[in-house]
Structure 1
Amino acid sequence: MARVEPVVGEPAAVADLGSERALLVADVHAGIEVGLRYERGIELDSRADERRALLCDLVAETDADRLVVLGDLAHRIAAPEGAEREELETLIRAVTDRVPMTLVEGNHDAGVAETFADAIDVIGPRGGVIGGSDGGSEHGRVGVLHGHTHPDPTLLDADVVCMGHEHPQVRLEDSVGGSRVERAWLRGAVDPAAFVDGRDGGVAVSGDPPELVVFPAFNERSGGTWVNVDGQSFLAPFLPDALPSGEAYLLDGTRLGDFRRV
């Protein structure tokens, strides 16, 4: 059985794939400050150096053999250029000087895979399954996708499916009416019928359905879905229906219970 364990206090997790140990993150959104300036006229100091340093530190601290980005490595929905491309080049070089890097294409990654084809491995937007010793299953199989489109049905054969895109957050209130918003993990058994697109044919799952892990955004400036607020629209086309009994956890590991009731 594959295990995906969050790194306490960080928006990252580690998966033991048998032949290698992978560090997984989602929604890095490199170049977000450039995008916010262009899209909304918001001026913010770049945190590119901090993002890059944190990724490299996490690779070292977790003794990872590979970094897997679950989509939206880049921020602007266009081929990277200018300052955003420079940030991506520096980040990718810093990581790949240490370990190989895999990108699962997200909706913000237009042109990224082509631009950096010589430096990174790429999994298409409908995702794929990684892990298992020599393609087998003795160490478990982990499905990976971004989440902006319905996945390849073969992900239902994995033990755990990891996704990004949603940027889950919870709004927490105290006894005197104050509130704060924190990034969160969502975890629970997936509903196969809601997870895959009906146009892909019938759903066949042998044994228990996989666990679905929705990753918090790595980039704290990228906003997100307040999963415990009534009327909040989800971004992924299969959420929240595909996670009927999902639970929320804070980055520090605090279990909040059913995310709908937080």
Structure 2
Amino acid sequence: MPGSSGSGREGGLLAGPPGWRLAPEGAAVFESERVAVVADVHLGYEWARGSGGDMVPEHSLRETLARLDRLLSRVSVDRLVVAGDLVESPSPCPRTFRDVALLASWLAGRGVSLVRLAGNHDGRRQPPLAESLEVGGWTVAHGHRPIPGPRVVFGHHHPSLRAGGISAPCFLFDDRTLALPAFSPNAAGLDVGTAPLPPAFLGKPLRCVAGAGGEELLDFGPLDLLRGAIAARLR
């Protein structure tokens, strides 16, 4: 399944839907509004696992900051929008609260404000998190519920492309839809090559752009053709 580097590459970013550029770190950047959007960060993954008796080393904040540091070396933005699931568990957790505060402080030190949208893992808050945000005529939301609007950006499904024992987080997009990969490496992905697709992906001429080791994106072309090629190989 050969991929290509695609067109419109600049500064390590790849052209996506109108107005958007895609970064290997898993962010979509709307440069004219100086906004980067990510989804499914899942801070506190280790603390949530620990509450169930698993022993998982502390790592999610460190990995998140390292990935954001690479992203901010490529782009200059004023806002980082997390399109839902900034945290792993809706249960109150002082260590997760601390990690969220440290993330916000780290971003503020770089002149970037953190904007949170509601996801299915974020739980109830007072005041509640906003469900959506408009960026350049696109509605950004988590995607666990239907999103009203003609052009939408969402996460939730954790799309990834699996081949040869490797799972690569991927973007799926057309001119009206942009599905984001999970920003967390802990989030198990939906295999877009072989798994049944959710309604948000059906009937759309989506392209698949997958990460390649964190430094590059590869354009695998139309998703329907990619799924057909994979199915033919598996027969």
TM-score (norm 2): 0.77
- Overall identity of the aligned pairs, in %: 25
Secondary structure of 2:167's match? Answer: strand
**How many residue pairs were aligned?**
205
Give the drift of 1:35: 1.5
* 2:217 matched residue in structure 1: 253
Among 142, 147, 150, the residue aligned to 1:146: 142
- Rounded to whole Å, the distance in 2 between the matches of 1:88 and 1:54 is 15
| CA pair 48-183 structure 1, distance change in 2 beyond 3 A | same
Among 87, 94, 98, the residue aligned to 1:86: 98
* 2:25 matched residue in structure 1: 10
- Rounded to whole Å, the distance in 2 between the matches of 1:106 and 1:90 is 20
Secondary structure of 1:254's match? Answer: strand
- Rounded to whole Å, the distance in 2 between the matches of 1:239 and 1:40 is 35
Give the drift of 1:76: 0.5
| 1:69-127 residue CA offsets vs partner (Å, 9 max, x unmatched) | 1111111023x42211111111122113322221121111114x537x8xxxx532xx2
Give the drift of 1:245: 2.0
- Verify: 1:222 aligned to 2:187, yes or no: yes
CA contact (8 A) 1:2 1:16 kept: no
* 2:200 matched residue in structure 1: 239
CA contact (8 A) 1:25 1:68 kept: yes
Give the drift of 1:55: 2.0
- Rounded to whole Å, the distance in 1 between the matches of 2:42 and 2:65 is 11
Q: How does 1:1-262 map to 2 (within 5 A)?
A: 2-7=18-23, 9-17=24-32, 20-39=33-52, 41-78=54-91, 80-97=92-109, 98-111=111-124, 114=126, 122-124=129-131, 127-131=132-136, 141-151=137-147, 153=148, 155-156=149-150, 158=151, 161-173=152-164, 179-189=165-175, 211-230=176-195, 232=196, 234=198, 238-241=199-202, 243-251=203-211, 252-260=216-224, 261=227, 262=230
- Rounded to whole Å, the distance in 1 between the matches of 2:28 and 2:65 is 17
Secondary structure of 2:217's match? Answer: coil
Please tell me the residue identity of whatever aligns with 2:36: L
- Rounded to whole Å, the distance in 1 between the matches of 2:130 and 2:73 is 24
Q: Which runs of 4+ in 1 moved over 6 A?
A: none
CA contact (8 A) 1:59 1:67 kept: no
Structure 2 unmatched runs, 5+:
1-16, 231-235
| CA pair 102-182 structure 1, distance change in 2 beyond 3 A | same
Secondary structure of 2:201's match? Answer: coil
| CA pair 55-38 structure 1, distance change in 2 beyond 3 A | same
CA contact (8 A) 2:172 2:209 kept: yes
Structure 1 unmatched runs, 5+:
132-140, 174-178, 190-210
Q: CA RMSD in A?
A: 2.4
Give the drift of 1:56: 4.4
Give the drift of 1:60: 5.0
* Larger RCO: 1 or 2 (CA < 8 Å, sep 6+): 2
